[in-house]
Chain A
Amino acid sequence: MTSLVKSRLIKFLLSLIIVLIAVLIIIFNLKDNIIYFYGPTELLKNSDKQGQIMRLGGLVSVDSVQNETDSIFYFNITDGDNEIEVKYEGILPNLFAEDKGVVVEGVYMNDGRFIANKVLAKHDENYMPPEVIETLKKSGKWQGE
């Protein structure tokens, strides 16, 4: 009976060690694999991403949206530190606005610009009625974007 307990204990410890090593390996290597989009700083750091199809996410910089015609837009995406210029041809979603979250899909060009072929508005976790926003903004308590 003791030998049975012993062998079970050894099995348990062995599997625990394997699981621990496996989890450590996964955590240390799990950096940007499941990432849905990159931020501007991450993209600028990795110049090898140039020329690839990918997604870029961040806030639309204030006063950066320009439309050449009705359907061609230029705007900058920022994460507070860095900005990347984006060109997009198409219809913008309703929730697209300056100083709001956005994820664009397209090609990161070699000259550092981003040609988007799809724009997704990223919603933040705040749900507020318009009147509340007004009062919050007036009293200076509003900490959202």
Chain B
Amino acid sequence: MTWASHLPIIVVLIPLLTAYITPMLGWMDKRICNPLVIVSTSFAFIASLLLARSVLTRGVISYHMGGFAPPFGIALVVDYFGAYMCIVISFLTLMAAIYSREYIAKELHESKTAPYYTLLMLMTGGMMGASVTGDLFNMFVFFEILSISSYALVAITGKKVAILASYKYLLLGAIGTSFTLVGIAYLYILTGTLNMADLSVRLASLYGVGRSSWTLLVALAFFMVGYSIKAALFPLHTWLPDAHSMAPSSISAVLSGILIKVGALALIRVLFNIFQPEFVVETIPVTSMISWMAAVAIIVGSLFAISQVDLKRMLAYSSVAHIGFIILGVGLATGYGTTGGILHIFNHAMAKGCLFLCAGAIIYKTGLRNIDDLAGLGNKMPFTMAAFTIAALSMIGIPPTAGFISKFYLGLGALETGTWSGWVFIGAILLGSLLTAIFYMRVINNIYFKEPLHREDVQRDETPLGMLIPILILAGGCVIFGIFPRIPLSLAEPAAKLLLGI
């Protein structure tokens, strides 16, 4: 089983190599791009599952590239959290790739097919890399790969607004990049290493030591700002609604479903892997600060979502709220809370991915984006709309969907803190859930219970099968993992425990 020990690098290399092959093959025949991408993401998905299995049986895997031991060589470190993220990333990308086959044919000009898949694979490779890397600068590089490809993907349709949205995204993203680069520099000055495990050991001796602890704080602040932009944490979310609503829907699903979660992953890595939990929780209450920001994000994001008329924009604002749920859970830094936050990464990825794919299917079939125009779609596209409803219920957190389980864990985590702010946080979680219900129920009511404008127009006109299958798989996942939450929890729980050191 020698190849199994190379799994950490395999999951990164599969998408990256595909990204290089795709344009070459695409140059010969465009039709080959999609099967190629689907096959390679399937392999990446299987590899991620195997990786998760070996992490679960053997514990954290450290892989040294080129055989150089850290801190000199670049290390890939796959812990429970990294393996978990790999599964989520490859799974959702696989769904988006299957969906793209028919969707892209209509949405994009033929000449853009190969670039589209190339960028998609680059982005996936970047996300996978950021999840498994154990080196801070390496993380920066992977982040750049995924960011730049996502900027391009947002603009790929070439529509007026999409380009502007992409520009806005790029501008803020570039600021975020620079900030993280500065943060890395500070840590490097202090410790002389970039390996995360090494950093955490060396930083531990610096806590509370005069000037260096101030330097640490500055570094932490730069990281917080930089990765908060990538994760679209309020108030640095301003790029998200434009970018996610203007991108092609398959890309929106990936962006909202996992890309911002990779930003959250970076925040978590910085907070808990590089800095020690005791430092960020007790010495300097950074976690409680980001929890407050996340609580505001939940409320503000939901309120903005309520006021939207455009379906995809509403979904995008809903992502602002839900990244708030994730960060809030992580920031609570309690066993239940962090588990809930990590679990919600998975649950939100499925639900939001499904919702964006459904929105794409609606646009594909009818060209409608406005929520008020959706009347009668329940009869027109019954399966798509049923999937939409299930995913929306999961977003609200209605049992037995997966969203309920994460809400349960987040609520327990908030109460577990035992402080008054915990009660405020649970208030934010519950209120956020209610507000989420308001805007999703509006859509559901429009779809099912509103007289269509022209009744005779309503005929059964379902989404093509190639697009429907990923939608249904994701919607099914929302229910299955609500009834069997132990499957994601088997990774999420040890991940949270490992991060918190409990």
Q: Do A and B come from one complex?
A: no
